[in-house]
Structure 1
Amino acid sequence: MVVTDPDVLAGYRQDRALDPDAGTAAALVRPLTTEQVAATVRWAHEHRVPIVPRGAGTGLSGGATAQTGALLLSTEKMREISVDTVTRTAAVQPGLLNAEVKRTVAEHGLWYPPDPSSFEICSIGGNAATNAGGLCCVKYGVTTDYVLGMQVVLADGTAVRLGGPRLKDSAGLSLTKLFVGSEGTLGIITELTLRLLPAQPPQSTVVATFATLTAATDAILAITGQLRPSMLEFMDAVAINAVEDELRMGLDRTAAALLVARSDAPGEHAGHEADLMLAACEKAGATEAFRTDDPDEGEAFCAARRFAIPAVERKGPLLLEDVGVPLPRLGDLVTGIAEIAAQRGVLISVIAHAGDGNTHPLIVHDPADPDESERAHLAFGEIMALAIGLGGTITGEHGVGRLKKPWLADQLGPDVMALTRRIKDALDPHGILNPGAVL
């Protein structure tokens, strides 16, 4: 289906990053099959028309921002899935939501672990394009760890199949991994072969509050130094209060930080690991800490953490960061962000997948206030510079997109940037795939 209605196109100009530099696409294409994607790309290749691939539009780095005169290719109508319980794999088209994949495989007693906070609204194709992570990734890994194969349409319209339902495969270069996280700049993914696990065991949950950021990060390092939890999440005071404003669940508004940690170790081991985490929080100086084996109570605190971004967003439009550091530098990152917020006079909330060092600083600002907006954007760049200086990354799971592109070279260096450009030029010599993203 090809759409040129300006009102429809307007709804596809931006992803959730709300890139103010979004252009106006010439048309929107919503294919149903790999063959239709390939035909679209062949036409675009022949006529040198740029293509911006798009999933559910929940991206946070501007990777699906429309470009003037380009085609927008949305995979939202590509929604088929089949599950093989023998190989524990699923063949999935990219338009299915992460939550839909989880529900479908759960009907077969299986589990797809990657779980972005937006799992109910983000597409599995977008997850693969950005190598999305989530709350349980500290133990179970990110999207690339579950992509065994794919079908992808290249820049000339050729459709190739990479990998497949094999847990071990060393034939040739690891091309499947090359396309995961490439943000639509090397090819358009039209099908994924996903590795599945048996259903997750029951979890034991630990919740702890802290009077200082330092005490909370000390507890994080103490926990990760002993075991690998199935979840270890962090919320700062701004996030705690924003969530409490909306959910009214009795969170401690005076706390500087809150941790939600979980263990899904088999049998009695989950309780043992939870006790270790509880002890680590208490030793670090938690003002309150408790453990629960009640699944509903544990899930309520996880839901509170997932709700943090929309809760903070109600305070004003956000610049969303996604910086990560090696775990030993997590405390330096969190306290450094607090200093940047104070210096720039902007409200910054920090939430984090603390167990793997991936933080999400949320910079609240009013785009209509030029002075505040300028200070917010300065803080945005300073946070990325801080992360790089601590040996970290400008993005742990959201992708570079267009908003973070100016800082990519600072992290990778000229040699790696040149190598990246050579790969892009080899696979997309005319530069028609997602121009302006990443590079």
Structure 2
Amino acid sequence: MSQLLDVLARILPPKQVISDPLRRLAYGTDASFYRLTPEVVAVVESEQEVQALLQVTRTLGSPVTFRAAGTSLSGQAVTDSVLALIGEGFATCEIGPDAATVRVGPGIIGGEVNFRLSQHGRKIGPDPASINACKIGGIAANNASGMCCGTAQNSYRTLAGMRVILADGTLLDTEDAYSVASFHQSHATLLDDLQHLGETTRADEVLAARIRHKYSIKNTTGYSLNALVDFADPVDILAHLMIGSEGTLGFISRITYQTVNEDPFKASALVFFPNIEVACKAVIGLKPKPVSAVELLDRASLRSVQDKPGLPAIMRTLSDEVAALLIEVRGETAMALQLRMDAALDALRGIETIEPPVFSTDPATCEMYWKVRKGTFPAVGAMRRTGTTVIIEDVAFPLATLASATLDLQALLRKHGYFEGIIFGHALEGNLHFVFTQDFSVQSEVDRYARFMNDICTLVVDKYDGSLKAEHGTGRNMAPFVEKEWGTQATGLMRRIKQLFDPQNLLNPGVILNDDPQAHLKNLKPMPAAEELVDRCIECGFCEPLCPSHRLTLSPRQRIVSWRDLSRRTATGESVADLEADFAYYGLDTCAGCGLCSTACPVGIDTGALTRLLRGRGMGSTSHKVAQWTADNFGKVASASRLGLGLGHVASSVVGDKVLGKLSGGKWKRGMPHAGKTPEAYQGEGDPVVYFPACGGRIFGANTANEATLPEVIMTLLVRAGYKPILPEGFDKLCCGQMLESKGMAEEADEMSDAVTQALLKAADDGHGGYYPVLMDASTCSVRMQKKLAGSPLQLLDFHEFAHDAMLPRLFITKKPGPVALHINCSVRRTGSDAKLRRVLAACVEQVIEPAGVTCCGFGGDRGFAVPELNVHALRKVHDALPASCCEGVSTNRTCEIGLTAETGRPYHALAYLLEECSREEVAMLC
């Protein structure tokens, strides 16, 4: 290993070569149920680095596996050798003329590509359920499909060109004539062999017909042999063999897709049928109709999600035989949509249903239906017994046999004791997923799984001539069964292809083709109990794109993986010394605790809660005494903080922000606010409203010395809107406790919030048995107090909520042209109140910019001061997203605004500043 590290250190920057045990474990884990820990993790940011890496691994004989997002389910993205993580240098996106094509790098998330294309009414064809987390590299390398794309719009069918780096380091750009000509000269033998394979395959009518038949339904088992019958040009054959090759033939460094239309009008119907046979009869009737997707759900899958909010109450009363179809239709116009709804309903006419089928065009209802459908797999994982693994398999059958095949699958699950198993799938393509839980900790359970998989292969291949892998890729899981499905002759073709491209067998060996008949039963991932908060995690990775520390240190998934192994080792008496010290920084110190991970997690796990729990455990008695003193003496803490800010500005006036920032280890920020001050009580008239200024706005004052503080601005606004602000008694000595709660000091934090609660109840009492409304001016604090006040008679709103509901109707607003940047605080995102924030901002500004790729700012209360690199990393994408004409920004949390100001060089203010400016009487008179 030392030799490998020495060589990698010469070709890659130090931060891109990862050898510590903690991150090798964490980064090496993917969504599958296999566990291999890489010898080293190398982050590659350019084609040149990939070529250099391949040269090194080829010289040393070290296998290399490329990894994009790690959402793969079949074990194709794990290794015990070199794991090459695709870096953000490959997160490129270039939209072609009329958006008819899009040229993308393997490091960009599929959902991000669709977001950019949506402005043109287009999208990429593949639509896997993980599209908001998985990356283009994985989508192409696995030929991932999904609910709508079928077999006509997957990567294979919509490929327009690619850049690929072969095992020997050669780069081929199929869209560049010079590159193609050069490749014909340098790799004539390879191209001649591919051309010969294509000619002999097409000449063999039986084999060619067999290949075409296999791809008439979804199929990702083995290599894309259809390339040999669909194309004659060897370059085309090569490019299409790369699709679905799972990194075993080369590295796709860029791919150009032909985009497909994204119809703006959509409708969905959730239709219940008395049994599977009737539901599948309906599918056959819907197949020729203009429907976009038809998802089949058996009763068990419906039961796994039936308690989700908003779903029809009838779901909880259905009999065990019932099945459902979730049907979607789309149209370019409302009229076209109606015609397609009518056509789908016509196909269902005469077919027995539990209730009359009805389509909904309400976006919220449709989104809820599909979100629930996508949550069936994680829902089973969340309900599994601690210590077990959730497994999802996907197979495909000829559509005419779908009903009997589904019943046979149900019978097999029962036969082998998987009574919790569920079945759902993309019915139009005969594609079924079945999900079950499995204990791999004892040999008898592994043996049960082995028997079940053998029976599955017999059922799918021998009885129905279907696909053992429809869209999840062969991986390690089905590699031993490729020959069973394809036969000796076709599998021989695959072995020849692998030999041509990778004669040393260094590219992801053991994946797709594996001579070990027990390979699918080895290197199984343990899922030990760690903490009840996170034991439901299935390590899918959906959380990662929202995490501000992802790719700086650890993501939520990687934190859970690390803590699970630390817990396992502790329970078994193994040493944790090699992981524990690094986990303090990578796992705890750099977690913003923002909770955004919970909004993407299918089962709502907040890894920040785990971080706070572990931080609290790690605090000694001295720390708890300090926390208790802080809770008892917060007024003194606030005064000392304001004094420190004042002294900091004195020092900054002498040496400058930049020098002071370096001297303070990044704790002093560019544009640091001045010291705040305590607002004075209002003595006038108006409708009473209780205003609690959060400590952030009381400690951190205005951005410049001549600006009003946030409490002053809000008081001015309230009076202007006809309200009488009431400040709670002793508010300047109170804090909601968020600052201590984020450090795991839950008990002391609750004492602080209890004191605030009592002050609010007293201030809001109207003397007639009712209470005045209450508002706060920091989203994070507002959300904490809303939770604490749940069930109390108080109505507490964050400022932007109160401004939307109660102030806008009372103010005369004059819009600014903008542009103004908007940063939606993570607390606002979690509570779903961002729509109100956007509406208030839209009332004030003509042009609003929300930087793509920026979620949590990473300031995390005091994290931006304690670990400033987290704030810098979280906002790394904001710079390119803000045009030079954008000179200011708004948010709803004071510390977020500090971090945003420091990183962007633009002043970020609370929303109240903008609303106050645009509602001034003199502005209205001028206009």
For residue 232 of structure 1, what is the aligned residue in structure 2?
Answer: 294
Alignment match, 1:295? 363
CA offset at residue 428 of structure 1? 0.4
| Distance in 1, Cα, partners of 2:454 & 2:117 | 40
Q: Which residue does the alignment assign to 1:363?
A: 436
Shift of 1:433: 0.2
Pairing of 1:306-317 with structure 2 (within 5 A): 306-316=374-384, 317=389
- Alignment of 1:149 onto 2:161: yes
For the structure 1 residues 118 and 247, does the alpha-carbon distance in structure 2 shift closer, same or farther, using more than 3 Å as the test? farther
Q: Deviations over 1:40-66 (max 9, x none)?
A: 111111221100111111001100121
Find the partner of 1:45 among 49, 58, 71: 58
Match of 1:15, SS? coil
For 1:243-392, what aligned pairs fall within 5 Å after superposition? Answer: 243-247=305-309, 249-250=311-312, 252-253=315-316, 254=318, 256-267=322-333, 268-288=335-355, 289-316=357-384, 317-346=389-418, 347-368=420-441, 370-389=443-462, 390-392=464-466
Of 25, 29, 47, which aligns to 1:10? 25
SS of structure 2 residue aligned to 1:322 = strand
* Range that drifts further, 295-304 or 2-11: 295-304
3-state SS of paired residue (1:118): coil
Aligned counterpart, 2:249:
186
| Cα distance in 1, alignment partners of residues 235 and 92 from structure 2 | 28
State the alpha-carbon separation in 1 of the partners of residues 104 and 487 from structure 2.
36
Structure 2 CA distance for partners of 1:385 and 1:274, relative to 1, 3 Å: farther
Q: Structure 2 CA distance, aligned partners of 1:323 and 1:64?
A: 20
Q: Give the whole-Å Cα distance in 2 for the aligned partners of 1:419 and 1:53.
A: 24
Name the residue aligned to 1:241: 303
* Cα 1:105/1:328, change in 2 over 3 Å: same
Does the Cα contact within 8 Å between 2:29 and 2:37 map onto a contact in 1?
no
Structure 1 counterpart of 2:473: 399
Structure with the largest fraction of helix: 2
Cα offset, 1:377, TM superposition: 3.8
Mapped to 2, the partners of 1:369 and 1:200 lie a distance apart of 50
Q: Give how far 1:321 is off.
A: 0.7
Q: Distance in 2 between matches of 1:391 and 1:270?
A: 36
Residue 408 of structure 1 aligns with which residue? 482
What secondary structure, in the 3-state scheme, does the structure 1 residue paired with 2:265 have? coil
Which residue type is aligned with residue 83 of structure 2? L
- Higher strand proportion, which one? 1
Partner SS state of residue 415, structure 1: helix
1:426/1:138 Cα in 2 relative to 1: closer, same or farther (>3 Å)? Answer: closer
SS at match of 1:149: strand
The 2-side partners of 1:210 and 1:376 are apart by: 31
SS of 1:303 mapped into structure 2: helix
8 A Cα contact 1:324 1:393, kept in partner: yes
Task: Give the partner amino acid of 1:39.
Answer: A
Which stretches in structure 2 are left out of the alignment for 5+ residues? 1-15, 178-230, 514-927
Q: Please, what TM-score do these two structures have when normalized by structure 2?
A: 0.45
1:283 counterpart SS class = coil
- Residue by residue, what CA displacement relative to the aligned partner does 1:78-120 show, whole Å, maximum 9, x if unpaired? 2121112346222211111111111122234432232111111
> Unaligned 5+ residue runs, structure 1?
none
Q: Does the CA contact (< 8 Å) of 1:363 and 1:376 recur in 2?
A: no
Q: What is the number of residues matched between the two proteins?
A: 431
Q: Give the match for residue 433 of structure 1.
A: 507
Q: CA deviation at 1:139?
A: 7.9
Secondary structure at 1:314's aligned position in 2? helix
- Residue 261 of structure 1 aligns with an amino acid whose one-letter code is I
- Rate the CA distance shift 1:362–1:164 in 2: closer, same or farther, 3 A: farther
Name the CA shift for 1:326/1:76 in 2 (closer, same or farther; >3 Å).
Answer: farther
Structure 2 CA distance for aligned equivalents of residues 420 and 182 of structure 1: 10
How far off is 1:315 after superposition? Answer: 2.2
The one-character-per-residue Cα deviations of 1:315-355 (angstroms, maximum 9, x if unpaired) are 22222111001111111210010110121111321110111
Quick one: which amino acid aligns to residue 84 of structure 2?
A: L
Aligned equivalent of 2:146, options 134, 137, 140: 134
Cα distance in 2 for partners of 1:109, 1:278 equals 27
CA drift at 1:219: 0.9
User: CA, structure 1 residues 297+4, in 2 after alignment: closer, same or farther (shift >3 Å)?
Assistant: same
Q: Which moved more, 1:201-210 or 1:413-422?
A: 201-210
Structure showing greater Rg: 2
Matched, 1:75 2:51: no
On the 8 A contact 1:139/1:228 being kept in 2, the answer is: no
Show the counterpart of 1:63. Answer: 76
Q: For 1:276 and 1:335, how far apart are their aligned partners in 2?
A: 28
2: CA distance between counterparts of 1:416 and 1:71? Answer: 30
- Compute the TM-score of the two structures, normalised by the length of structure 1: 0.92
Residue of 269, 273, 279 corresponding to 1:216: 279
Listed as ranges, the matches of 1:72-221 within 5 Å are 72-77=83-88, 78-86=90-98, 88-138=100-150, 141-163=153-175, 172-174=234-236, 175-221=238-284
Q: Secondary structure at the match of 2:27?
A: coil
Q: Percent identity?
A: 28
Partners of 2:39 and 2:502 lie apart in 1 by 21
Secondary structure of the residue that 1:285 maps to in structure 2? coil
Indicate the larger mover: 50-59 or 232-241. Answer: 232-241
Other structure's SS at 2:421 match: strand
Question: Displacement, 1:76?
Answer: 4.0
CA separation of 1:364 and 1:247: change in aligned 2, threshold 3 A? farther
- 1:161 Cα deviation after fit: 1.2
Go from structure 1 to structure 2 and tell me whether the alpha carbon gap of 1:163 and 1:415 turns closer, same or farther (over 3 Å shift).
Answer: farther
**Closer, same or farther: CA 286–420 of 1 in aligned 2, 3 Å:** same
Q: Contact between 2:161 and 2:175, CA under 8 Å: does it hold in 1? A: yes
Give distance in 2, aligned partners of 1:112 and 1:427. Answer: 28
3-state SS of paired residue (1:323): strand
| Secondary structure of 1:399 counterpart | coil
Q: Could you tell me which amino acid in structure 2 is paired with residue 222 of structure 1?
A: G
Identify which of structures 1 and 2 has the higher relative contact order when contacts are C-alpha pairs closer than 8 Å and 6+ apart: 1
Query: In structure 2, the residue corresponding to 1:413 is in which secondary structure?
Result: helix
Distance 1:39 1:269 in 2: 53
Following TM superposition, by how much is the alpha carbon of 1:170 offset from its aligned partner in structure 2, in angstroms?
Answer: 7.5
The answer to whether the 8 A contact 2:278-2:352 is kept is yes
Q: Deviations over 1:265-302 (max 9, x none)?
A: 44434323323323433533110221222233222212
Distance (Å, rounded) in 2 between the aligned partners of 1:282 and 1:363: 34
| SS of equivalent to 1:57 | coil
SS of 2:52 mapped into structure 1 = helix
Question: Retained in 1: the 8 A contact 2:273–2:279?
Answer: yes
**Partner SS state of residue 203, structure 1:** strand
Give me the whole-angstrom Cα distance separating, in 1, the residues matched to 2:133 and 2:454: 28
Q: Deviations over 1:181-223 (max 9, x none)?
A: 0010000111111211343241232220122111111111111
